[in-house]
A and B are shown apart, each in its own frame.
Chain A
Amino acid sequence: MGLVSFLKSRLVSPELNEHIDSIRKPIGTLGYDPWGYNNDTVKYGFSLVKPIYEKYFRTEAQGVDHIPAEGPVLIVGNHSGQLPIDGILVGYALASRKKNPRIPRAMIERFFPTVPWLGNLLNEVGAVLGDPVNCARMLANNEAVIVFPEGVRGSGKLYRDRYKLQRFGHGFMHLAMKYKAAVVPVGVVGCEETIPAIANIKPLAKALGVPYAPVALPVVLPAKVHLNFGPPMYFEGKDLTESEMNKRVEQVKTEINRLIDKGLNERKRLF
């Protein structure tokens, strides 16, 4: 047995193999889709994230069954914690649910594809460059897509601003209406405490070409994470003005705020 086969047998159990294979994805003959998703890499990723989800962050997910079993879905949440840990945990919650699991796609910052190794790795586990064209094609393919409309405004915010939702972009609402996608809000509680940042060194970020350069401990703290998924929201209509769109975005924001408050009330301690 070669090293690769040995590692694969240790990492990917037959049950996991079957679980991932049972989730049908529109892939080509060599296991890839146009965005770089790869079934084999997802199996390794799933197996590596499992202890992080269950043991390190002791994640509690409620309402994950609100996500429809099929059809286009936008899973919209609050973004926090400097690194996209929230996206990974939300994705794992959906991929590991007992009934009708789905492997969601995550829209990632434009900076990631320029990073060697990491950019490809993220693509292989389902992450996609956060471009409206990509998101539209995903929804047309009936995918479930994780979006954080705050973008870097949310993930890069400082600890003193924790759980304060930043401005939401409207792009997700336009796409949800166009593709008649269900919008499932999710409140993420705990990720704010994983990498608390006290300052952002903007000149350094600019020099490095990264969205932000936080002053934070160089460790990811094992904060307990609560994910609260809300019931799906549907929005119809077309040719709405941006102020009308804003009202709809505010509805989603209000729901996410409610789910965050629920998570904060449920949380007994930070770690």
Chain B
Amino acid sequence: MTASANPQAKPSILITGAAGALAQQVIARLRESCNLVAVDARIQVDLGDDIPSYCIDFNKRRFEDLFRRYQFDSVIHMGRIRSSQLSRMRRYNANVLGTQKLLDLSHKYGIRRVVVLSTYHVYGAMAYNPSLIDESAPLKSAGLSADLIDSVELENLASIYLWRYPNLNISVLRPCNIVGPSVRNTMGKLLASPLAPVMAGFSPMMQFIHIDDMADAIVLASNKPTRGIFNVAPNDWVAYQRALELCGCIRIPIPSIPPVLPRVILRTLGMERFPAYLMDFFKYPVVIDGRAFEKEFGFTPKRPLKEIFRYYRDNKKRL
């Protein structure tokens, strides 16, 4: 974390998206060494007496009061609303306009470090993706799915502010699938469920990072004000269907061709854990190269894939 005005004082950090499992892990790691303020647009989280917690929409004027009151040194923005949540319009308001407001306030109040949590979904899944995609690859997902536009727009905003206001020291992190205990994202729910849909005949290579490792990565990033965009993924890979096998999931194949067929089926079923807009991520690989982050921040994931999958297998709910 960047130095605050008084070197003796603990740095003050605003954490957004505090209700999420990952944010809770980050808070647990930083609460001793930093003065934290937690914000979530959805619910107010009880984090004990030492951490003020707020339920505020970033687009409301009283959000600025937090910046006036606490004199933050850093911001860790984990408040991106996932594409499976809310309507497109509400997501756009929260993810794009809300992030813009957050970055504007960060600039206005002299924040010296901003870490933005994004997702590898911004690269988009298509048959022609090369493997080990690096950070300079084009973000194709906006052209492939309207449901991912807000995620790409959020990144575009962060990139603009990264160059326009270098003092903000913005880092954007694009993690692979974050999984592990209490993770409730699409992949976490799939691995935890006894039955998991697959696209018949497709088993793309995937990467998984344990929630504890990801929390470590965010803490490392918040400690070192290196600007830039970074993939976060371990140097280990597994085919999706093999991952399901190791998690003890029964695979349910969904007809995969012609492409319109699975799209209709998935839209009709409306499964939150296998949404139609992520369909191509279960057909084509989006393998990212996380070596730049490892090198820059000295990051080494500690939880191997086998351990991650064993957790899901041992905690599988019976049918």
Contact = CB atoms under 8 A, between A and B. Distances in A.
Nearest to A136: B130
A28 B284 contact: no
A129 B130 contact: yes
A134 B130 contact: yes
Contacts of A28: 235-238, 305
A116 B199 CA distance: 9
B200 A116 contact: yes
A110 interface: yes
Judged by DSSP, the binding face of B is: loop
A238 B71 CA distance: 53
A21 interface: no
B130 A30 contact: no
A29 interface: yes
Interface in A100-141: 110, 113-117, 119-120, 123-124, 128-129, 131, 133-134, 137
A99 to B, nearest CB: 30
Contacts of A120: 201-203, 239
Interface string B83-94: 000000000000
Interface string A15-49: 00000000000001110111110100000000000
B281 to A, nearest CB: 14
B306 A29 contact: yes
Contacts of A124: 239
Q: How large is the interface on B (under 10, 10 to 19, 20 to 34, 35 or more residues)?
A: 20 to 34
B285 A36 contact: yes
Contacts of A110: 127-128
Interface residues of A, number: 25
Interface in A129-177: 129, 131, 133-134, 137
A113 B286 CA distance: 13
B242 interface: yes
Contacts, number: 72
Contacts of A137: 130-132
A120 B204 CA distance: 7
A116 B202 contact: yes
Contacts of B37: none
A131 B284 CA distance: 15
A8 to B, nearest CB: 16
B257 interface: yes
Given A28-B238, A29-B304, A30-B236, A117 B201 contact: yes
Contacts of A32: 205, 237-239, 242
Interface string B198-221: 011111010000000000000000
Contacts of A35: 131, 205, 287
Interface of A: 28-30, 32-36, 38, 110, 113-117, 119-120, 123-124, 128-129, 131, 133-134, 137
21 contacts: A28-B235, A28-B237, A28-B238, A28-B305, A29-B304, A29-B305, A30-B237, A30-B242, A30-B305, A32-B242, A33-B237, A35-B287, A36-B237, A116-B257, A119-B202, A120-B203, A129-B129, A129-B130, A131-B130, A133-B130, A137-B130
